[in-house]
Structure 1
């Protein structure tokens, strides 16, 4: 028995993300396990997508799927934005590292703005999960509350995206204060953000619908919209980030100083009359 169309899309995702899991784990070993580096969240996202694809395939092949299976598949598919947000925050933090600029240091590791965004993302994810559980609940109050929870979660995710775009724009304004190889990562973020916008809008538009069975629902809605605005967009984002990650040797920062960074010189005469000095 063959798979329905949604199951075929899930099978393609499985074929794409299994090797992507290995590639992103390689990047984690290469760049570090720190949450602030972003790579660990890219690996988590790939693992989540593998799990989601498996659940959808099981769902499509089951004659009478249980409510629990519907709920599990819906949750795993819906929370994909969370690790992508965390990954992008980590990459922006990496871009700002080792800069002497106070402004860039403000968006570096352990910055207040990223801690706030981290909390907003967690709240948004909790609302999305709660709404997903409520949709399949037999309790009428839970189903009623799920609509407002979906809206709140969608709005929070849109706010986080706008905040990341503004931080990204600030980095570009101060790009001369960023070390050369880290600018390559900033370019990668710039390339990914338009696709990220489409993915965020997919969740936001689903949140605005009054019915959980809207065209923008990833499980029950339009397969064409789900594939174009979610599946394809996510894979392009991951592909951009992994490509940049393989091309970015962050350990070479010291060989490529910031453009306007003052250079140090030895106090040793190195020319006629002692007017020139050797570089340190």
Structure 2
């Protein structure tokens, strides 16, 4: 069976992210699990994109239609924003590390991580409920899905606030983490467009369901062209795929080029960068 436009884009997604899946594995190996929460989530995002693309390609190739593959692929597509936001949050958190490599403001950042996880759960459960045959489940699913993307938007606004705060204290930030802050600042506009697309897509329809013709129910609302499943593929390509890819490229280059671990090796770092002294 020939792939439609979304199937082709799903195949392209696999080709785009398999190399970065390997790169992100190298990055996590470089920084480790303890210091690299943001980098680990970059790896998670690449896995989500490869797996989601594979499910959507398989859904179009397999006959008879297997709706579970579509549901799984769509859920991964719609929830991909979460690991990107949480990755950015983790990278911002790493900028607050002490010269000895210990994290600061743990409680605050854990609460923000929880916010991102709640948003992710709402989106996934919402999509699952909307694909059920129950009208009450469809209604509650739509509400949860919209609540989830609103929380994504709130989390993005918080990330911008943290970034702006760090720039006001930039003279106190460790040497290579200043460069990481620049990379995050460059990535934030791309993340903004991606977040906006997620909002427009979610509010473009009150519901969607997988049909026997292997497509989702079309809608004709004002925002229909932004629908992630039935909208214009050109908008999806630019506002989602390319924005995400730009962010992954920026973060990957920063991780590979910047010797971030060198920030923890200078015996004079604590005196030179008072912002990163341990807080009691």
Both proteins in one fold, TM over 0.5? yes
Map of 2:198 onto structure 1: 203
Q: CA deviation at 1:168?
A: 0.7
Q: CA deviation at 1:247?
A: 1.1
d(CA) in 2 for partners of 1:141, 1:48: 29
Change (3 A) 1:96 1:133: same
* Worse-superposed segment, 204-213 or 227-236: 204-213
Pick the aligned partner of 1:191 from 165, 183, 186: 186
* Rg comparison, structure with higher value: 1
d(CA) in 1 for partners of 2:133, 2:249: 40
Correspondence 1:84-95 to 2 at 5 A: 84-95=84-95
d(CA) in 1 for partners of 2:83, 2:35: 11
d(CA) in 1 for partners of 2:182, 2:64: 47
Paired residue secondary structure (2:87): helix
Contact 1:192 1:240 (C-alpha < 8 Å) held by counterparts = yes
Paired residue total: 257
CA RMSD of aligned residues (A): 2.3
Map of 1:155 onto structure 2: 150
Change (3 A) 1:92 1:262: closer
Correspondence 1:169-188 to 2 at 5 A: 169-188=164-183
Q: Which has the higher contact order (CA 8 A, sep 6+)?
A: 2
Map of 2:240 onto structure 1: 230
Encode CA deviations 1:260-280: one digit per residue, 9 max, x unaligned: 8289xxxxxxxxxxxxxxxxx
Paired residue secondary structure (2:132): coil
Query: Is residue 30 from structure 1 mapped to residue 40 from structure 2 by the alignment?
Result: no
Encode CA deviations 1:93-124: one digit per residue, 9 max, x unaligned: 11111269xxxx9xx44522212211111111
d(CA) in 1 for partners of 2:273, 2:69: 60
d(CA) in 2 for partners of 1:82, 1:33: 19
Pick the aligned partner of 1:114 from 109, 115, 119: 109
TM-score normalised by the chain length of structure 1: 0.85
* Worse-superposed segment, 152-161 or 69-78: 69-78
Query: Is residue 129 from structure 1 mapped to residue 124 from structure 2 by the alignment?
Result: yes
Structure 2 unaligned blocks of 5 or more: 208-217, 219-223, 275-280
